[in-house]
Structure 1
Amino acid sequence: MAKASKTAGPTTAATVALVRAGIAFTPHAYHHDESSTDFGDEAARALGIEPERVFKTLMVETDSGLVVAIVAVASMLDVKAVASAHGAKRAVMADKSVAERKSGYVVGGISPFGQKTPLPTLLDDRALDFATIYVSGGRRGFDIDVAPSDLVNVTGATVTTIRRA
């Protein structure tokens, strides 16, 4: 994995945040098919990475506020687990326009790093099974390979089980 630097791939709010934090990451750009709507699976296929190691960044609306939830693309998010972990009674996926406005990214390119509005973040504990995981780098067709511990340190994420069993 490359040391974070200003020349480490495309510059996005995510890469800027990682460089500022001194976090090592490896950028991975790939061709995004505009007709694709399954962004995580597209990234896994394009990069030749197992889907269990590619994580999607989702926004969830709970009765106690918005939460960022990061789970492997091979898994389904358990919104009830998100609600419980966030101390809420109910949770639903946030509307696309809310997710884009709060994160500053387009759906399919939402990165856990450099979000416009910092929000509480939950990382599925399966991420700790890997030395590094892939998350969006802040645009469609661009992922970042980063250590889960660095993701936790930069975002303040809570590590818990948020995938469906």
Structure 2
Amino acid sequence: MAATPGLKQLAALGVAVTLHPYAYDPNAAHIGLAAASALGLDPAVTLKCLMVEVDGRPACCVIPSGAQLSMKRVAAAFGGKAAAMMPPAKAERLTGYHVGGISPFGQKKAVPTAFEAAASAAPRVWINAGARGLLLGIAPADALRACGGIAADLLA
């Protein structure tokens, strides 16, 4: 499998990751949960990447695959007043990735990123590597450092 922009960024930073390919199901109701199930991973540490807009500015939220964002907490985490989900087509243009394969690493345009604080406490998490059907395993501290992210309470 070709290296994604996210994998190239992590390699350039010297961040050690493990790769975990799986059979991507485009019809899955919850792609992150389907990935966790396919790989036998705990959904609490299998993270999904959601693109949002805070006061009209793009941002990235990384949360457990079975969780829901609190838009009020997202706005607060990024110092804004209101947050909303970014439309999928806009998220694809901004990140350079396809929905179902969006990674917080190696996005076409770097945006502020927040990881759910509870997931940041785990010894290892699994996040999309930038392609549908490919997760990477990484230490949360390395993930935060690689994308200049913060840990925040983001869940509903």
1:49-128 correspondence runs (5 A): 49-63=41-55, 65-128=57-120
- Secondary structure of residue in 1 paired with 2:108: coil
1:37 offset after TM fit, Å?
4.2
Letter of the 1:79 partner, please give it: M
TM (norm. structure 1) is 0.91
Q: 2:39 aligns with which of 29, 42, 47?
A: 47
| Poorly superposed stretches of 4+, deviation over 6 Å | none
TM (norm. structure 2) is 0.96
- Secondary structure of residue in 2 paired with 1:108: coil
8 Å contact from structure 2 (residues 121, 140) kept in 1: no
- Aligned pair count? 156
State the superposition RMSD in angstroms: 1.1
8 Å contact from structure 1 (residues 64, 88) kept in 2: no
Q: Deviations over 1:98-142 (max 9, x none)?
A: 111111101111001100000000111012231110000101110
Q: 1:146 aligns with which of 138, 144, 150?
A: 138
- d(CA) in 2 for partners of 1:112, 1:37: 22
Letter of the 1:111 partner, please give it: S
- d(CA) in 1 for partners of 2:132, 2:116: 22
8 Å contact from structure 1 (residues 57, 70) kept in 2: yes
8 Å contact from structure 2 (residues 114, 149) kept in 1: yes
- Secondary structure of residue in 2 paired with 1:53: coil
1:64 offset after TM fit, Å?
5.1
Aligned identity (percent) is 35
- d(CA) in 2 for partners of 1:153, 1:129: 14
8 Å contact from structure 2 (residues 95, 109) kept in 1: yes
Gaps of 5+ in 2: none
Identify which range, 62-71 or 31-40, moves more after superposition.
31-40
8 Å contact from structure 2 (residues 47, 63) kept in 1: yes
Gaps of 5+ in 1: 1-8
